């Protein structure tokens, strides 16, 4: 893998420097400074929160554990890494920079955070980072025009980035298989989570987001993270939304499984899975993502009708908001350095916002799909008590088969999620490919 990344990295860096050149010119800046960030302490304590590197920093190089470090770039010059390697016997000191990327940087090692100031040009500099990364007169200013440009173009992945995302999906798929096996063996949510961590070989803090490990009705909580220690008396269903990280790049995968005696729920899972595959096939250049989201609503509404949850047409279910009761979140989002990557609602490289469709406030991606974009496709159907209670009080309630809905409440819900690349041809499904090669 290192040989492939070494081959792809130079073109990736050239792409980033070209984008930086254009962004600096638009903002009227001479230099780009990027702070890795610093650890934050918990309130009234000397314990730090887990360190999360600035995504702009890890975009340039695969370094995620070097707090206090900086990247300095001036157009026409070799990028500089100011690398903090403190003298410290309380903590593990970051290892000296090494790997396929080091030859592309001028590297300066400093022992104290303040020592970085002497190596960073402060005049007319765009400085990206959080306020607590400031060093004297070097204070993050995060220029909006520059960030808008960089965030817009970050949606278009280089070959190097796509390679990273493929590996992340392989790691995630392997761990998902381990989690499914734990579920089949009768494990609790907590023990399933631990099986996942063992298989992915990452700590909780290294994962790109907190795992959603939901048995039975917990699957109706979209961001369920409580992790019950004892297994339920009857395991009717299992929904897992869990990812993996590779050199700072994330995968985001969701699967849903039926228990041993849950044939009716298995049939519904298979219907949603088939629908998800069909939606993935439409991830092509020129496709409006909001239109794809609305298409997903129609497909899912037809499943609700075919499985006798609603007794109205799919068109009526969408138009009258009934489909949103069972599918209340967005179809997906951009993916890359962050799970919910930036720029998903952006109008263009100058900023602005592309509005969400009326009645769909949680959609995170409203751009037109183009080659090299990576996005999730994650339709779902859920039986959420709060939303169902609201629907019962509306005129549309008469079109719902409440007896069948009540029977399915014990399953919680279904979500199927893959990470998908738009190409010049058929979409590349990073997740399904990863599962296929296990």
Tokens of 277: 């595959």
Judge contact between 156 and 373, C-beta under 8 A: yes
Distance CA 388, CA 169 (A): 35
CA-closest candidate to residue 259, choices 229, 239, 238, 274: 238
| Strand-strand pairing, 351-353 and 346-348 | antiparallel
In the chain, domain spans: 2-152, 159-436
2-152 CATH, one of 3.30.930.10, 2.60.40.10, 3.40.350.10, 3.30.830.10 = 3.40.350.10
**Contact by Cβ (8 Å): 64, 34:** no
- Round to whole Å and give the CA distance between 81 and 59: 13
Tens digit of each residue's pLDDT, the chain (438 residues): 889 999 999 999 999 999 999 999 999 999 999 999 999 999 999 999 999 999 999 999 999 999 999 999 999 999 999 999 999 888 888 899 999 999 999 999 999 999 999 999 989 999 999 999 999 999 999 999 999 999 999 999 999 999 999 999 999 999 999 999 999 999 999 999 999 999 999 999 999 999 999 999 999 999 999 999 999 999 999 999 999 999 999 999 999 999 999 999 999 999 999 999 999 999 999 999 999 999 999 999 999 999 999 999 999 999 999 999 999 999 999 999 999 999 999 999 999 999 999 999 999 999 999 999 999 999 999 999 999 999 999 999 999 999 999 999 999 999 999 999 999 999 999 999 999 999
Contact in structure between 119 and 77 (CB atoms under 8 Å): no
DSSP string, 253-321: EEEEEE-TT-HHHHHHHHHHHHHHHHHHTT--TT-BHHHHHHHHHHHHHHHHHHTTSB-S-HHHHHHTT
* Sole residue written with tokens 């040009």: 121
Whole-model pTM: value is: 0.97
CB atoms closer than 10 angstroms to residue 406: 11
- Which residues contact residue 91 at a Cβ distance below 8 angstroms, ignoring those fewer than 6 apart? none
Residue 299 CA to residue 305 CA, distance in Å, equals 10
CA distances (Å), 337 to each of 61, 156, 311, in order? 11, 12, 43
Element (H, E) at 81: strand 80-84
Instruction: For the domain made up of 159-436, give the CATH fold.
Output: Creatine Amidinohydrolase (3.90.230)
Distance between CA atoms of residues 390 and 194, nearest Å? 37
Evaluate whether 2-152 and 159-436 have a shared fold: no
Angle at 363 (CA atoms; ends 358, 364), nearest 5 degrees: 135
Instruction: Give the CA radius of gyration of the chain.
Output: 24
Instruction: List 242's β-bridge partners, or say none.
Output: 253
Find all residues with CB under 8 Å of 422, minimum gap 6, and list them: 283, 284, 285, 287, 369, 370, 371, 372, 373, 374, 375
Pair 35, 140: CB distance under 8 Å:
yes
286 dihedral zone (left: phi>0; alpha: psi -120 to 50; beta): left
């Amino acid at each position: 893998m290192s040989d492939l990344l070494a081959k792809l990295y130079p073109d990736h860096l050239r792409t980033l420097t070209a984008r930086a050149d254009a962004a600096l010119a638009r903002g009227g800046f001479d230099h780009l400074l990027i702070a890795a960030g610093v650890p934050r302490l918990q309130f009234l304590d000397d314990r730090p929160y887990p360190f999360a590197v600035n995504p702009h920093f890890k975009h340039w190089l695969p370094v995620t554990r070097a707090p206090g470090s900086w990247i300095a770039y001036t157009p026409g010059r070799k990028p500089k890494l100011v690398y903090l390697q403190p003298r410290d016997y309380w903590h593990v000191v970051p290892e000296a920079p090494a790997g396929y990327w080091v030859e592309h940087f001028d590297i300066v090692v400093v022992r104290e955070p303040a020592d970085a100031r002497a190596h960073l040009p402060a005049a007319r500099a765009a400085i990206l980072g959080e306020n607590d990364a400031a060093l004297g007169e070097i204070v993050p200013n995060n220029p909006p025009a520059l960030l808008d440009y960089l965030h817009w173009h970050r949606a278009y992945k280089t070959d190097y980035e796509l390679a990273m995302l493929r590996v992340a999906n392989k790691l995630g798929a392997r761990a998902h298989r381990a989690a499914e096996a734990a579920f089949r063996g009768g494990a609790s949510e907590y023990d399933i989570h631990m099986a996942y961590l063992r298989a992915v070989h990452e700590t909780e803090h290294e994962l790109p987001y907190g795992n959603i490990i939901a048995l039975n009705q917990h699957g109706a909580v979209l961001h369920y993270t409580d992790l019950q220690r004892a297994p339920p008396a009857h395991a009717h269903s299992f929904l897992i939304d869990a990812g993996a990280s590779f050199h700072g790049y994330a995968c985001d995968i969701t699967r849903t499984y039926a228990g041993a005696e849950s044939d009716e729920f298995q049939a519904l899972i298979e219907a949603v899975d088939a629908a998800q595959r069909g939606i993935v096939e439409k991830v092509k250049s020129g496709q409006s993502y909001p239109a794809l989201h609305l298409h997903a609503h129609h497909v899912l509404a037809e499943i609700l009708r075919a499985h006798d949850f609603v007794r109205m047409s799919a068109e009526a279910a969408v138009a009258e908001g009934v489909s949103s009761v069972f599918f209340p979140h967005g179809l997906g989002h951009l993916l890359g350095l962050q799970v919910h990557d930036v720029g998903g609602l952006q109008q263009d490289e100058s900023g602005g916002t592309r509005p969400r469709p009326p009645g769909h406030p949680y959609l995170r991606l409203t751009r037109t799909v183009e080659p090299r974009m990576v996005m999730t496709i994650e339709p779902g159907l859920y039986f959420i008590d709060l939303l169902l209670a609201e629907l019962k009080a509306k005129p549309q309630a008469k079109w719902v088969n409440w007896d069948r809905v009540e029977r399915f409440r014990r399953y919680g819900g279904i979500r199927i999620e893959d990470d998908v690349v738009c190409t010049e041809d058929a979409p590349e499904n990073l997740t399904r490919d990863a599962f296929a090669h296990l």
